[in-house]
Structure 1
Amino acid sequence: MRSWKERLTHTLLFEAGGLVMVTPLASEVTGHGLGEIGVLALGLATTAMLWNLVWNRLFDAWVPTRRRSLRQRFAQAFGFELGLLVTTLPAVAWWLDIGLVEAFWLDLGFMLFFLAYALVFNTFFDLAMRRYLARGGA
């Protein structure tokens, strides 16, 4: 099982990378200003970080290995994104002053983006951690 320190590092790196990529994209797609989207993205990232810590800790207990199959990685990423979508949909609609259906499609687009991002990020993070641990890292 991974430590809380490792999960916190994973979460912070994942969310920082995601914010850098998705904030300008969301501003362009929605037509909302970078500042407005930035505040929303920060709120969503904070929610995502908390959910990430909980979800991945649960997933680690369910699949306690660093060598996960593509199917297991998909389940990990999809479960995270689905949970986040359900919890953040009302906030996105409210903040952007759009309907729930429009917010759903926007959230779904970003969910698909982050699903692919999570698959790639988690694979490389696990590879880096295996190498670090093989060299005697704590």
Structure 2
Amino acid sequence: MSPTTRRILQAVLYEVIAIAFVGPALSLAFDKSQTSTFGLAVVLSTIALTWNYAFNWVFERWESRQSVRGRSFARRLAHGAGFEGGLVFMLVPVMSLWLEISPAAAFVANLGLLVFFFVYAIVFTWAFDRVFGLPASAAGNGPRTV
């Protein structure tokens, strides 16, 4: 499978499975209809995908102007904190309005989602690689990059 096809398949499967879990979990946690929380999960997923694309574009433009190349732990930490921090600012108000809860409660729910997605991303990626094989960048004997 081509790298582009693999990336698209991985992103679509990742989000579809996430929505299937997050929608019912929000329904149980906030005593809302599954129809409503499924809709919310789709909206949150769309925001996250859009933010991911936009943030990575901006980050990579910034990164290309740095005198030090590569991705150190500090740079990766800054990337993760910037991405997640921006996502919190976008998702908390949406969750608060949609679920009719306080911003503080929405923030706590968002922290729960953060923990879920941390574990889910690791498990999903492992399972995806087991089913579809490693990407060319990780499977070959070519040069390793950091």
Which residue in the other structure is 2:66 paired with? none
Amino acid at match of 1:95: W
C-alpha separation in 1, matches of 2:127 and 2:49: 19
Q: Unaligned regions of 5+ residues in structure 2, if any?
A: 64-69, 141-146
CA RMSD of aligned residues (A): 3.8
Amino acid at match of 2:110: D
Which residue in the other structure is 1:104 paired with? 107
C-alpha separation in 1, matches of 2:9 and 2:37: 25
Residues 1:93 and 2:99 are matched in the alignment: no
Q: Which has the higher contact order (CA 8 A, sep 6+)?
A: 1
The structure that has the greater radius of gyration is 2
Does structure 1 conserve the Cα–Cα contact (< 8 Å) formed by 2:14 and 2:124?
yes
- TM-score, with normalisation over the residues of structure 2? 0.65
- TM-score, with normalisation over the residues of structure 1? 0.68
What SS does the corresponding residue of 1:128 show, helix, strand or coil? coil
- Which residue among 125, 129, 134 is the counterpart of 2:135? 129
Quote the sequence identity (%): 31
C-alpha separation in 2, matches of 1:112 and 1:91: 19
C-alpha separation in 1, matches of 2:121 and 2:58: 16
Does structure 1 conserve the Cα–Cα contact (< 8 Å) formed by 2:40 and 2:98?
yes
Which residue in the other structure is 2:41 paired with? 41
Q: Unaligned regions of 5+ residues in structure 1, if any?
A: none
Amino acid at match of 2:119: A
Residues 1:32 and 2:29 are matched in the alignment: no
**Count of matched residue positions in the alignment of Structure 1 and Structure 2:** 131
Q: Which moved more, 1:12-21 or 1:115-124?
A: 115-124
- Which residue among 77, 86, 90 is the counterpart of 1:83? 86
